[in-house]
Amino acid sequence: MFMIELVGIEKHFEGQVVVHPLSLTIKEGEFLTLLGPSGCGKTTILRMIAGFEQPSKGEILLAGEQVTELAPNQRDLNLVFQHYALFPHMTVEDNIAFGLKMKKMSLKEQKERIAEAVAMTQLTALTARYPHQLSGGQQQRVAIARAIANKPKVLLLDEPLGALDLQLRKNLQSELKHLQRTLGITFVYVTHDQEEAMMLSDRIVILNQGKVEQIGTPREIYAAPKTLFAATFVGENNVFSTPEGLFTVRPEKLRPVRGELEARKHGVIQDVLYLGNVHKLTVQLDNEPMTVTIALDFTDERPWQIGERIGVNWNQRDEVAIGS
Amino acid sequence: MKKKTHPLLGLHSLIMMIFIYVPILLIIVYSFNNTRLSGDWKGFTFDWYVSLMKDRHVMEALSNSLIVAVSSTIVATIFGTLAALALRNVSRKLRVSMNGLLYLPVIIPDIIMGLSLLVLFTQLHMPFGKITVIIAHITFSMSYVYVVVTARLTGMGRQLEEAASDLGASGWQTFRHVTLPQISPGIISGALIAFTMSLETSWSASSWLVQALLRFPYIYMVK
């Protein structure tokens, strides 16, 4: 069953096209990510699903029902805002209770829902605090608890971890994934962080300048990007140009070779980056204005020197044609 | 954590406090001085307060000022807040021009404001009295409320209201539970400014002239 159906939706703003015609179906329980750089239209799409923006054309269906014209408060979904948008004059508990109160839920049921939501987000000890008394990560948890307490059909998340530091992001990413699996709610997640998208999503929609570049599972997108943008936005990549068109080879698929061995390309090592589990060589190719990046894993213990001439090899099957 | 303040800054504040409050303090002290002429201390007395309380004109002026201030503040606060809320949802162009228009009464000299209202009330054949003064005070104090509440609304942004709406609140519920609690400090300070402006205008010299022009039948300050 489809939880969300976007049928040819587009958004124009002051004569400019912000979102080009987009059709997309999202399955029940799916974790779908809208991934793209800032200004690619991903937040606008999310806000159209939430009901804060009206599509200029097209229809939005939620669980099979037409919601295009419905106001946000009449849609059975919830949004986690980028900057949390917690009500500053309410305690954590009142923030979480807000949606339940609006639904005129009985006090007993409210209590149960709140207890459940705070337990799931590890906020039980903090219910009496005000938002300004919480850290960024705790505020983020409150925003999520406030949304999931409503048991919505769909949870929309607009760069929910964007304002947090790296370590906290990593922790919350796995918490979010766990939460989504436990709840079984459909998640539509917006981010510009490709690593985050890869880690969390069942499917990723790559957007660029209001257009879909590719839709696919993380594996499909990494292994078989369809456009130049998709190939270079997600993960590192090397783009080679031939008279027939462009193809890419991932850094870990390239092999450096020493001596006068047969190699597809030759060049000079410009830089050696040691990153612990991998090290990377940047190689300036002969007769070509480009450098390639080669990623070597920890088993490679050969001492690569800057300025050294090497050959670069790869297998034909690791070439991914991406058109022009 | 205690922040260190530069010692000169503290000294500066102290001097400013003395500069502002010592004259007021002196007036209070000398109001108990048993002499018509200020300057020398001639002993303690409540006489001046007794004669002030007995002065029908002064007491009437005071009560009129308070009636005008309280009623104009209430109306101006409601109108100013409503204007601020309404102008949030119009096009940028209209908002900018309305902003200018609403700000005008703040910068316009009292005398011109008074004269223009005088002309208006005469044209409308409105009898001059408390009502016309209250209307006059509403026209300018509303602008102060508008400016303060608008600043508060701008600072608040839209996200909180969107969050409320997303959680199922209707327009009224959003206003009642989120917007109003958030802007209430602005509404209160706007009302305080409106009240102060009204009282001050009632007692200020230029307004005294305007009120005279309006043939406001009350005697101010001096018998």
Report the CATH number that the domain containing residue B198 is assigned in CATH: 1.10.3720.10
B207 in any annotated domain: yes
Based on the fold, state whether residues B39 and B113 are members of the same structural domain.
no
d(CA B219, CA B209): 11
Mutate which: B158, B166, B175, B178, vs A, most A CBs within 10 A: B166
Based on the fold, state whether residues B103 and B201 are members of the same structural domain.
yes
Last residue of a domain, one of B54, B74, B101: B54
Tell me, yes or no, if A240 comes closer than 8 A to chain B by beta carbon.
Answer: no
Contact B169 A98 (CB under 8 A): yes
Tell me, yes or no, if A151 comes closer than 8 A to chain B by beta carbon.
Answer: no
B2 in any annotated domain: no
Tell me, yes or no, if B162 comes closer than 8 A to chain A by beta carbon.
Answer: yes
Based on the fold, state whether residues B133 and B34 are members of the same structural domain.
no
User: Beta strand A2-13 with A16-27: parallel, antiparallel or unpaired?
Assistant: antiparallel
B6 in any annotated domain: no
B64 in any annotated domain: yes
Based on the fold, state whether residues B205 and B112 are members of the same structural domain.
yes
Q: What are phi and psi of A25, to 5 degrees?
A: -120, 140
Instruction: Give the H or E element holding residue A111.
Output: helix A107-120
B132 in any annotated domain: yes
Q: Structural domain tally of chain B?
A: 2
pLDDT at residue B76, as a whole number = 96
d(CA A1, CA A63): 8
Based on the fold, state whether residues B34 and B137 are members of the same structural domain.
no
pLDDT at residue A290, as a whole number = 86
Token digits for A276? 């612990």
Mutate which: A48, A62, A77, A87, vs B, most B CBs within 10 A: A87
Based on the fold, state whether residues B88 and B153 are members of the same structural domain.
yes
Name the DSSP letter for residue A41.
Answer: S
Q: Which of B163, B164, B168 sits opposite A103 (nearest CB)?
A: B168
Q: How confident is the model at residue A25 (pLDDT cuts 50, 70, 90)?
A: very high
Please report the residues numbered 174 through 193 in chain B whose beta carbons come closer than 8 angstroms to any beta carbon of chain A. 177-178, 181-182
pLDDT at residue B61, as a whole number = 80
Report chain A's mean pLDDT, rounded to a whole number. 93
Neighbours of A179 (CB within 10 A): 17
pLDDT exceeds 50 at position A232: yes
- List pLDDT tens digits, range A151-200: 999 999 999 998 888 888 888 898 899 999 999 999 999 999 999 999 99
pLDDT at residue A258, as a whole number = 87
d(CA A75, CA A66): 10
The pTM score is: 0.82
d(CA B184, CA A114): 28
- List pLDDT tens digits, range A261-311: 788 899 999 999 988 888 899 999 988 888 899 999 888 888 889 999 999
Last residue of a domain, one of B54, B71, B102: B54
B201 in any annotated domain: yes
d(CA B34, CA B42): 5
pLDDT at residue B2, as a whole number = 59
Per-residue pLDDT of chain B (223 residues; tens, 9 = 90+): 556 778 899 899 999 999 999 989 988 888 888 877 767 788 888 888 888 888 888 788 888 889 999 999 999 999 999 999 999 988 899 999 998 998 888 888 877 887 888 888 888 988 877 888 889 889 889 999 999 999 999 999 899 999 999 999 999 999 999 999 999 999 999 999 999 988 887 665 445 445 555 544 444 333 3
Tell me, yes or no, if B91 comes closer than 8 A to chain A by beta carbon.
Answer: no
Based on the fold, state whether residues B62 and B115 are members of the same structural domain.
yes
Last residue of a domain, one of B37, B54, B71: B54
Based on the fold, state whether residues B38 and B130 are members of the same structural domain.
no
pLDDT at residue B38, as a whole number = 64
The CA angle A80-A86-A90, to the nearest 5 degrees, is 145
pLDDT at residue B217, as a whole number = 43
First to last CA, chain B: 57
Contact A87 B168 (CB under 8 A): no
Based on the fold, state whether residues B30 and B87 are members of the same structural domain.
no
Q: How confident is the model at residue A249 (pLDDT cuts 50, 70, 90)?
A: very high
Please report the residues numbered 61 through 90 in chain B whose beta carbons come closer than 8 angstroms to any beta carbon of chain A. none
Give contacts of B173 with chain A, Cβ < 8 Å.
102
User: A46 to chain B nearest CA, in Å?
Assistant: 13
User: Beta strand A265-274 with A309-313: parallel, antiparallel or unpaired?
Assistant: antiparallel
Contact B162 A89 (CB under 8 A): no
Tell me, yes or no, if B92 comes closer than 8 A to chain A by beta carbon.
Answer: no
B185 in any annotated domain: yes
What distance lies between CA A15 and its chain's CA centroid?
Answer: 28
Question: In chain A, which residue's Cα lies nearest the Cα of B184?
Answer: A89
**Contact pairs from chain A to chain B, CB under 8 Å:** 51
Between the alpha carbon of residue A3 and those of residues A28, A53, A94, B8, the distances in Å are: 5, 19, 30, 66
Q: Which residues pair with A32 in a beta bridge?
A: A188, A203
Range of the domain at B143: 57-216
Tell me, yes or no, if B164 comes closer than 8 A to chain A by beta carbon.
Answer: yes
B135 in any annotated domain: yes
Mean pLDDT of the A131-142 span: 94
Contact B166 A50 (CB under 8 A): yes
Across chain A, how many H-helices and E-strands are there?
Answer: 8, 18
Based on the fold, state whether residues B175 and B66 are members of the same structural domain.
yes
Torsion of CA A63, A66, A71, A75, to 10 degrees: -10
Name the DSSP letter for residue A302.
Answer: -
Judge whether A232 and A239 are in contact, CB under 8 Å: yes
What DSSP letter does each residue of A218-265 carry, written as one string? Answer: HHHHHHS--SHHHHHHSS--EEEEETTEEEEE-GGG-EEE-SS---SE
pLDDT exceeds 90 at position A318: yes
Tell me, yes or no, if A72 comes closer than 8 A to chain B by beta carbon.
Answer: yes
Based on the fold, state whether residues B79 and B157 are members of the same structural domain.
yes
pLDDT at residue B214, as a whole number = 52
d(CA B6, CA B104): 40
Instruction: Give the H or E element holding residue A43.
Output: helix A42-50
Nearest to B72 by CA among B213, B201, B217, B218: B201
pLDDT at residue B206, as a whole number = 44
Residues near A274 by beta carbon (within 8 Å), at least 6 away in sequence: none
User: A225 to chain B nearest CA, in Å?
Assistant: 36
Q: Classify the phi-psi angles of A227: left when phi > 0, otherwise alpha if psi is within -120 to 50, otherwise beta.
A: beta
Judge whether B182 and A88 are in contact, CB under 8 Å: yes
pLDDT exceeds 70 at position A20: yes
What is the 3-state secondary structure of chain B? CCCCCCHHHHHHHHHHHHHHHHHHHHHHHHCCECCCCCCCCCCECCHHHHHHHHCHHHHHHHHHHHHHHHHHHHHHHHHHHHHHHHHHHCCHHHHHHHHHHHHHHHHCCHHHHHHHHHHHHHHCCCCCCHHHHHHHHHHHHHHHHHHHHHHHHHHHCCHHHHHHHHCCCCHHHHHHHHHHHHHHHHHHHHHHHHHHHHHHHHHCHHHHHHHHHCCCCCCCCCC
pLDDT at residue B130, as a whole number = 83
Q: Which residues pair with B79 in a beta bridge?
A: none
pLDDT at residue B147, as a whole number = 93
Tell me, yes or no, if A14 comes closer than 8 A to chain B by beta carbon.
Answer: no
Based on the fold, state whether residues B27 and B79 are members of the same structural domain.
no
